[in-house]
Amino acid sequence: MERKEKVNERKTSRGRQRIEIKKIEKETARQVAFTKRRQGVMKKASELAALCGAEVVIVTIS
Q: Which residues bind DNA (CB under 7 A)?
A: 1, 3-4, 6, 11-19, 28-29, 31-33, 35-37, 39-41, 43-44, 47
Cα 4 to its chain centre, rounded Å, is 22
Which CB atom, from 6 or from 40, has the smaller least distance to a copy of itself?
A: 40
From the CB of 2, what's the least distance to a copy of itself, in Å?
A: 29
Residue 29 near residue 37, CB atoms below 8 Å? no
7 binds, among a copy of itself, DNA, none (CB under 5 to 8 A by kind): none
CB 50 within 8 A of CB 56: no
